[in-house]
């Protein structure tokens, strides 16, 4: 059954100098409210008292704080921005407690920390209650900030529910819209394909597909290392606290974001091509954190496998494709993709081998991709046989 997905569409914006000052004020007010609320909760924890509720925090750090001379300037920004800062604190605590109790997957999350004005990435969020809008001229109208020019690169698929204004480490401004997809329209946008693809990720080649296609590794970070070292040396020579040092820091950040943007664009183009041309895509689960502890760490992070696989997964779900992961302990490099005979482990310098059972000659990476595809098809078939039947039209909905 197709489900509605929430996606983020980010666009570059160009605020005027006055609007940049207004955004800086909004960033600062949101940071102060976050820190005040965090301080109150941490003091309550230190004294053994229950955490103040969100409503009590809102009253103390926003409503009552605006009436004091020390926090009167909070009234100069949209109240929605301040309320959303408290929502961010609530989310940070929920994630922390879920991580402590192991109900949240992934690495352990630390307790919420105080924000500082030296954080080079700033963000504020506006919900529908802020009455923001996209004007007829295509500008983004924000309360107490004004109409901001937006570089529209594509149309939004639906009316956005929220917009987050972000200033990144390189000093660029973005508007990030949260939109809901229309599943039927998304699936109709891509015609049904008949291909089933397996993807073997690596470092020599970024990806090898089951049909024999090889995608070269672009090594974005490696190619930019010379310029990055130059920019970093320039930064190290500047006096701490000087304006020249801040300018040099921005140049370093811009060099890094160019690398990240190029890698992300490469991942988007390749993931779109693979999911568009195949009805099912299967990949192998990789131990990225374990590989990052080896001498290959820089190359592993430069490849960005996790980001690429995440793109494959959400695009497959959005456009009605099947997606699956094969366990990392699956011996994709040891099995013959023709007869299924397991031929044992092989050193990494062995790039091709001949099956002793059927005599098939295999390229190591292509054979692994084919085995990943075959195992993914087998797992998908087994899952479909064990899944409960879907109720037909008119059947009563399941009560959760």
If we measure between CA atoms, which residue out of 302, 306, 310 comes closest to residue 256?
A: 302
Which residues are known to be catalytic? 200, 284, 365
Q: Residues, the chain, total?
A: 400
The Cα–Cα gap between 262 and 269 comes to: 11
Q: Directed axis angle between helix 243-277 and helix 220-236, to 10°?
A: 170
3-class SS letters over 302-365: HHCHHHHHHHHHHHHHHCCCEEEEECCCCCCCCECCCCCCECCCCCCCCCEEECCCCCCEEEHH
If we measure between CA atoms, which residue out of 141, 172, 127, 134 comes closest to residue 155?
A: 134
Residues facing 352 on adjacent strands: 363
If we measure between CA atoms, which residue out of 190, 153, 194 comes closest to residue 175?
A: 153
The Cα–Cα gap between 318 and 320 comes to: 6
Q: Which residue has the tokens 């070269």?
A: 216
| DSSP symbols for 142-194 | ETTTEEEEE---S--SS--SEEEEEE-TTS-EEEEEEEE--HHHHHHHS----
The Cα–Cα gap between 122 and 116 comes to: 10
Q: How many other CB atoms are there within 10 angstroms of residue 128's CB atom?
A: 13
For residue 27, the SS3 value is: helix
Its sign, for the CA torsion 1, 192, 304, 363, is positive
Alpha-carbon radius of gyration of the chain? 26
Strands 122-126 and 162-167: antiparallel
Query: Token pair for residue 31?
Result: 């940071």
């Amino acid at each position: 059954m197709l489900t509605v997905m929430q996606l983020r569409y980010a666009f570059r914006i160009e605020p005027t100098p006055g609007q940049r000052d207004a955004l800086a004020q909004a960033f600062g007010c949101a940071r102060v409210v976050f820190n005040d609320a965090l301080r109150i909760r941490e003091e309550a924890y230190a004294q053994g008292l229950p955490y103040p509720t969100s409503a009590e925090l809102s009253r103390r750090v926003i409503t009552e704080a605006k009436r004091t001379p020390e926090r009167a300037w909070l009234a100069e920004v949209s109240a929605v921005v301040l309320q959303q800062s408290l929502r961010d604190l609530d989310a940070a605590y929920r994630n922390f407690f879920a991580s402590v109790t192991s109900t949240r997957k992934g690495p352990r999350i630390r307790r919420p920390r105080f924000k500082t004005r030296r954080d080079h990435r700033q963000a504020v969020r506006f919900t529908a209650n802020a009455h923001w809008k996209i004007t007829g001229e295509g500008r983004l109208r924000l309360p107490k900030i004004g109409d901001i020019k937006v570089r529209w690169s594509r149309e939004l698929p639906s009316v956005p529910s929220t917009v987050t204004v972000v200033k990144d480490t390189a000093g660029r401004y973005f508007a990030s819209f949260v939109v809901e997809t229309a599943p039927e329209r998304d699936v109709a946008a891509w015609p049904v394909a008949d291909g089933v693809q397996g993807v073997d990720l690596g470092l020599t080649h970024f990806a090898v597909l089951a049909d024999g296609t090889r995608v070269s590794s672009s090594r974005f970070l490696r190619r930019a290392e010379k310029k990055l070292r130059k920019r970093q040396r320039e930064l190290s020579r500047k006096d701490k606290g000087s304006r020249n040092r801040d300018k040099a820091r921005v140049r370093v950040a811009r060099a890094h974001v160019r690398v990240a943007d190029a890698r992300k664009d490469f991942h988007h183009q390749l993931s779109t091509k693979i999911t568009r041309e195949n009805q099912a895509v299967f990949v192998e689960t990789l131990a990225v954190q374990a590989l990052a502890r080896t001498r290959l760490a820089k190359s592993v992070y430069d490849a960005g496998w996790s980001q690429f696989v995440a793109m494959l997964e959400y695009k497959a779900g959005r456009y009605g494709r099947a997606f699956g992961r094969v366990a990392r302990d699956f011996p994709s490099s040891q099995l013959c993709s023709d007869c299924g005979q397991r031929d044992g482990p092989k050193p990494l310098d062995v790039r091709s081998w001949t099956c002793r059972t059927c005599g098939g000659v295999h390229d190591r990476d292509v054979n692994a991709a084919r085995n990943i595809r075959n195992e993914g098809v087998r797992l998908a078939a087994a899952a479909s046989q064990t899944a409960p039947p879907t109720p037909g039209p008119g059947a009563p909905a399941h009560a959760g």
